[in-house]
Amino acid sequence: MDERIFVKENLKRVLIKEFVMKEVRSAGFGGLEIQRTPLGTRIILEVERPGLVIGRKGAKIKELTDALQEKFGVENPMIEVKESENPFLNAQIMAEKLASALERGWHFRRAGHSTLRRIMENGAKGAQIKISGKLTGDRSRTEKFTKGTIKYNGHPVELVRKGFAIAKTKPGVIGVTVKIMPPDAKLPDEINILGPEALREEEEKKENRDEKEAVNEVINAEQNENKEVNENAEGAEGKADQGNES
């Protein structure tokens, strides 16, 4: 029974995500996070242009809130709209942009290389774009565009941002997958060599930490001694009181 509830809840989340993606596509959908709180359901929506989601005097976001409550039975939905810090490093936004370019008639190679160049120019450590479908003829195929560092297995895979979008063209549906390794991702094989000045700073920081730890140890020892003295004094007073009573 618990497994059915789990599957049902995840299916509901997927349907909500698809619905929201469709509703806010013009604003540049960049991600969705659903959190359960005691007050209701908190939905954090990341977009490229928040104004298009909020609408004039909050009219559009109110419509979206009512739709989530009526169609999916979301309890007291609270939508928080967040602007994407850098749209070119958001895999979902770039996938949507690439799919839109393909629908407008761009050649897949031109669109893929252009998207890859924009991602790398904004400081990404690596990026990969995969376009699948009927690209030039009746036969479906897959084309990949890769630059920089992209991890496929192990713990570093969790650092890779992924996005997926669909382009509806005359020959058929084309799937677009974008993977981005962000600039702040720290990989296990990265080694920083410190110069003399940096080593001195590290040694000074370590000395300061050691001094603080020594001072804290002294303070804790004094507090423990005072505590023991007080406990002994209280015990002596209690014995004296018992002697007087007897």
Co-location of 76 and 95 in the same domain: no
Q: What band does 185 get if pLDDT is binned at 50, 70 and 90?
A: confident
Q: What band does 237 get if pLDDT is binned at 50, 70 and 90?
A: low
For the chain, what is the domain count? 3
Instruction: Supply the range of the domain harboring residue 215.
Output: 192-237
Co-location of 38 and 113 in the same domain: no
Co-location of 14 and 36 in the same domain: yes
CB neighbour class for 52 (10 Å; exposed up to 12, middle 13-18, buried from 19): middle
CB neighbour class for 97 (10 Å; exposed up to 12, middle 13-18, buried from 19): buried
Cβ atoms of 160 and 151 closer than 8 Å: yes
Co-location of 121 and 172 in the same domain: yes
Give me the chain's average pLDDT, please: 84
Asked whether residue 246 is assigned to any structural domain, the reply reads no
Q: Which carries the bigger pLDDT value, residue 205 or residue 125?
A: 125
Asked whether residue 187 is assigned to any structural domain, the reply reads no
Residue 128: per-residue pLDDT: 95
Q: What band does 32 get if pLDDT is binned at 50, 70 and 90?
A: confident
pLDDT over 90 (residue 132): yes
Domain C-terminal end among 37, 66, 84 = 84
Residue 231: per-residue pLDDT: 66
pLDDT over 70 (residue 239): no
| Domain CATH number, residue 31 | 3.30.300.20
pLDDT over 90 (residue 59): no
Q: How many CA atoms lie within 13 A of 111 on its CB side?
A: 25
Asked whether residue 155 is assigned to any structural domain, the reply reads yes
Asked whether residue 245 is assigned to any structural domain, the reply reads no
Over range 16-32, report the average pLDDT. 84
Co-location of 68 and 101 in the same domain: no
Co-location of 167 and 109 in the same domain: yes
Q: Angle CA(120)–CA(121)–CA(127) in degrees, nearest 5?
A: 10
Asked whether residue 93 is assigned to any structural domain, the reply reads yes
Residue with tokens 């996938």: 95
Percent above pLDDT 70 for the chain: 90
Asked whether residue 244 is assigned to any structural domain, the reply reads no
Co-location of 161 and 93 in the same domain: yes
Co-location of 231 and 197 in the same domain: yes
pLDDT over 80 (residue 229): no
Rounded to a whole number of angstroms, the distance between the first and last alpha carbons of the chain is 68
Co-location of 80 and 106 in the same domain: no
pTM of the model: 0.70
Question: Residues near 12 by Cβ (< 8 Å), separated by ≥ 6?
Answer: 72
Q: Which carries the bigger pLDDT value, residue 94 or residue 194?
A: 94
109-119 pLDDT per residue, tens: 999 999 999 99
Asked whether residue 228 is assigned to any structural domain, the reply reads yes
Cβ atoms of 34 and 54 closer than 8 Å: no
pLDDT over 70 (residue 184): yes
| Domain CATH number, residue 141 | 3.30.1140.32
Co-location of 71 and 27 in the same domain: yes
Asked whether residue 26 is assigned to any structural domain, the reply reads yes
Co-location of 11 and 46 in the same domain: yes
Domain C-terminal end among 35, 69, 84 = 84
Domain C-terminal end among 50, 84, 118 = 84
Co-location of 94 and 60 in the same domain: no
Q: Which carries the bigger pLDDT value, residue 198 or residue 145?
A: 145
Residue 112: per-residue pLDDT: 93
Residue 194: per-residue pLDDT: 64
Over range 120-136, report the average pLDDT. 92
For 26, 100, 101, 151, 169, the CA distances from 107, given in Å and listed in that order, are 22, 12, 9, 28, 12
| Cβ neighbours, 10 Å, residue 74 | 19
61-81 pLDDT per residue, tens: 888 888 888 888 888 888 888
Residue 101: per-residue pLDDT: 93
